[in-house]
Amino acid sequence: DAGITQSPRHKVTETGTPVTLRCHQTENHRYMYWYRQDPGHGLRLIHYSYGVKDTDKGEVSDGYSVSRSKTEDFLLTLESATSSQTSVYFCAISEGDVYGYTFGSGTRLTVV
């Protein structure tokens, strides 16, 4: 969807290095989310934001931090990447449950 972009699309990094993924929206939606997708697990929520500087933890937040300094940007940081964080990461935006959620195209992260 043109209203939400993720960068980078692919990344390979080494164990122990910091990594930051970016989600950028042009829809001015209030809520933003980071999910990870793994085989056999579906999508699991990492962190979410309900406004600038307002964030909270999701189901699988250990090892991840987030920041939202502007409405349009939501950053996901792996402070010290581990092999268990190899996954596909999706960002999503929403204006509330009844409106649904729009997902980005994903970032495939490989930690070697």
Site string for other proteins, 39-78 (x = CB under 8 A): -xxxxxx--x-x-----x-x--------------------
Cβ nearer to other proteins, comparing 38 with 80: 38
Q: Nearest approach, Cβ of 58 to other proteins (angstroms)? A: 7
Other residues' Cβ atoms within 10 Å of the Cβ of residue 40: 4
Q: Does 23 bind other proteins (CB under 8 A)?
A: no
Question: Under DSSP, is residue 85 helix (H, G, I), strand (E, B) or coil?
Answer: helix
d(CA 84, CA 38): 10
Q: Where are the alpha helices (DSSP H) in 1-112?
A: none
Residue choice 21, 25, 29, 33 for contact with other proteins (CB under 8 A) = 33
Q: Nearest approach, Cβ of 80 to other proteins (angstroms)? A: 25
Q: Does 97 bind other proteins (CB under 8 A)?
A: yes
Nearest by Cα to 72 from 5, 22, 4, 25? 25
